[in-house]
Structure 1
Amino acid sequence: MATGETGFDDVTYDLISVQYHSLKAGHDYGQYVRDAENAGKDDIAQFFKEVMEQDSQRAQRCHEFLRDLGGTDNTSPQGDVSGGSDPNAT
């Protein structure tokens, strides 16, 4: 598998990039929703909410792909990182 300049394989880097941008955009859309609501444009606010949900789903899908590629799942407790024994070793 090709490795990019970051030291990560291209697919992992691409997934991380899409996940980051989806999460960042989702954060920004919250302001867009408030702006539309403050302007009395409920239909536009609803549109921004839909876009925000799509980005949230996109970020979650990237997370699942990254986990499947062998990354760590930071949503669950991690093992001992102090150099102790590997809890997954048999």
Structure 2
Amino acid sequence: MATGETGFDDVTFDLISLQYHSLKAGHDYGQYVRDARNAGKEDIAAFFESVMAEDSQRAQKCHEFLSELTKDGTSATAPQA
């Protein structure tokens, strides 16, 4: 497996990156839901909640894949200092 500059293989890095961005976006969407509700736009709030749930599912799937990679020992470890 190719190893990037981080010392982790590309697939592991990609999963960590996607998981982080999905969780970060989910956090931001909470504000979008509040904004829509404050504006009286329940349909838009529901849409944002749906998008938030999709990102949560993506983050969970990344977590599952990362657990498998770690268990299988296929993920490189960070270089020792």
TM-score, length-scaled by structure 1 = 0.78
Deviation per CA, 1:29-85: give whole Å up to 9, x if none: 0000000000000000000000000000000000000000016xxxxxxxxxxxxxx
Runs of 4+ in 1 over 3 A off after TM superposition: none
Gaps of 5+ in 1: 72-90
Larger relative contact order (CA 8 Å, sep ≥ 6): 2
| Whole-Å separation in 1 of the counterparts to 2:69 and 2:7 | 15
Alpha-carbon separation, structure 2, partners of 1:18 and 1:69: 15
Q: Say which one has the larger Rg.
A: 1
In structure 1, what is the Cα distance between the partners aligned to 2:5 and 2:16? 14
Give the RMSD, CA atoms, in angstroms: 0.7
Mapped pair 1:38 → 2:71: no
Point out where structure 2 has 5 or more consecutive residues left out of the alignment.
72-81
**Could you tell me which residue of structure 2 aligns to residue 4 of structure 1?**
4
Partner of 2:58 in structure 1? 58
The TM-score with structure 2 as length reference comes to: 0.86
State the identity %.
80
2:70 alignment partner AA: G
Confirm or deny that 1:27 pairs with 2:41.
no
1:47 aligns with 2:47: yes
